[in-house]
Amino acid sequence: MLRLEGITKTYAKSAVPAVKSLDLHVRRGEIFGFIGPNGAGKTTTIKMLCGILRPDEGRIEIGGADMAKDPIAAKRNFCYVPDVHDTYDRLTGQEYMDFVADVYGVPTKERRERAAKYLEMFEIADAAGERINTYSHGMKQKLLIAAALLPAPPLWVLDEPMTGLDPKSSALLKDEMRAHTAAGNTVFFSTHVLEVAEKLCDRIGIIRNGSLVAVGTLEELRGGKDESLESLFLELTEDDYA
């Protein structure tokens, strides 16, 4: 579903690459957790795979479409929930969802059904007619998630999706992620909450200093030892916390 081949990115005025020759293959039907210390290159990687940043080298393929050659086809295969909430705050929640649905070409019947479902699910239906600048932090996050899920693309790319969500919404989102992958789709998400990654992910990738230092299922990462993801993570990123 998602294939990154040797992607490298060095920001202007920086001698050190933010992401170095990163290879990754995320399969259909799996929830992939992407974790790493602050500044490790998570957001840069996510921005590259979403087409926000162009990699200096390497290739990104989403659902068979090459991001460099056919970005629109590649982007139709995923939705993205960013880690910042400063959205188009002069629009109402409903107008924002409508806009996203239009961009993805969601037909009227489906958009109404799904909009109603997600707005009710995240308990923001009553606020959907209000402008986004009147929303609380959590409500904005719920709206961004609801709008991103509305087009129902096969891949969800979620950057810190649980931040700001109340426990109920967080649990509902996890259920949705599981249901999405159970239907043969894919979820790629970054998180700093290792318990969530441990319980939710089929596979986990750990990035450090722009390189993927470990990829696999939790069992594979443990390598037969009986240790938590937290211990494993701290071991692999020891220097960053020294």
* Interacting residues toward another protein by CB under 8 A: 12, 47, 50-52, 54, 71-73, 75-76, 80, 82, 84, 86-88, 90-95, 97-108, 111-112, 115-116, 119, 125-131, 133-136, 157
* Nearest CB to another protein, comparing residues 5 and 83: 83
Closest approach of Cβ 206 to another protein, in Å?
24
Position 145: which residue type?
I
* Nearest CB to another protein, comparing residues 158 and 212: 158
* Nearest CB to another protein, comparing residues 72 and 242: 72
* Nearest CB to another protein, comparing residues 37 and 153: 153
Closest approach of Cβ 157 to another protein, in Å?
8
* Nearest CB to another protein, comparing residues 103 and 179: 103
Q: Is the CB of residue 11 less than 8 Å from the CB of residue 166?
A: no
Closest approach of Cβ 181 to another protein, in Å?
21
Closest approach of Cβ 185 to another protein, in Å?
17
Closest approach of Cβ 45 to another protein, in Å?
13
Closest approach of Cβ 152 to another protein, in Å?
13
Position 184: which residue type?
G
* Nearest CB to another protein, comparing residues 39 and 99: 99
Q: Is the CB of residue 155 less than 8 Å from the CB of residue 185?
A: yes
Tokens of 101: 């649905």
Tokens of 47: 């921005």
* Nearest CB to another protein, comparing residues 33 and 82: 82
Closest approach of Cβ 57 to another protein, in Å?
17
Q: Is 64 left (phi over 0), alpha (psi -120 to 50) or beta?
A: left
